Amino acid sequence: MDEDALGGHTYERHVGKSEDYLKARVVGSRTNVAGIFTVGERRAGSFTSLETANKLINATLAQNGSRVDAFAAEQFPRSLPFMFVFADFDSPTGYEAFAPNDRAQPRMRATYGVTVFIRRTTASEKGYYVHSAWPTNRD
């Protein structure tokens, strides 16, 4: 992925990952705050292959084309240098370790959506690069 050369990490963290790796990411991200509550990731997802990841990322960007183009052209007032875009699909997009709360152990499940995290840059003709992308469910 060319985006990884610009600072992205989709391939490194979200392609072909094992169930153990994904579950460890969820559990390992948990931090107890002053003994009152715990914060951390509830989910960690993986695409099954690089080819699948590329197809789904491109489809997600295409479904959000007008927003992505406006972002790249800095047409949003007070636009942040990054943006998240989402798309839902009728068939599985990958799999994720998911824990509904901070006390639950993560369990594996199929995903039916994709989140793409883009960052604006002048180093790319498009005006942005994919910093990260992962399969997910919207719950």
CA 109 to CA 58: how far, in whole Å?
Answer: 23
Three state DSSP letters for 20-82:
HHHHHHHHHCCEEECCCEEECCCEEEEECCHHHHHHHHHHHHHHCHHHHHHHHCCCCCCCCCE
Host domain of residue 127: 2-29+36-136
Q: In this model, does residue 62 exceed pLDDT 60?
A: yes
**pLDDT at 87 (0 to 100):** 98
- Tell me the pTM: 0.86
Q: For residue range 7-58, what is the model confidence (pLDDT) as tens digits?
A: 556 777 789 999 999 999 998 777 777 777 666 788 999 999 999 999 999 9
Domain count, the chain: 1
Which residues neighbour 22 within 8 Å (Cβ) at sequence distance 6 or greater?
A: 44, 45, 46, 95, 96, 97, 106, 108
- If 0-12 CB within 10 Å is exposed, 13-18 middle and 19+ buried, where does residue 81 land? exposed
Are the beta carbons of 101 and 28 closer than 8 angstroms? Answer: no
Instruction: Find the mean pLDDT for residues 61-88.
Output: 90
Distance of CA 122 to the CA centre of its chain: 22
H/E stretch holding 12 reads: helix 10-14
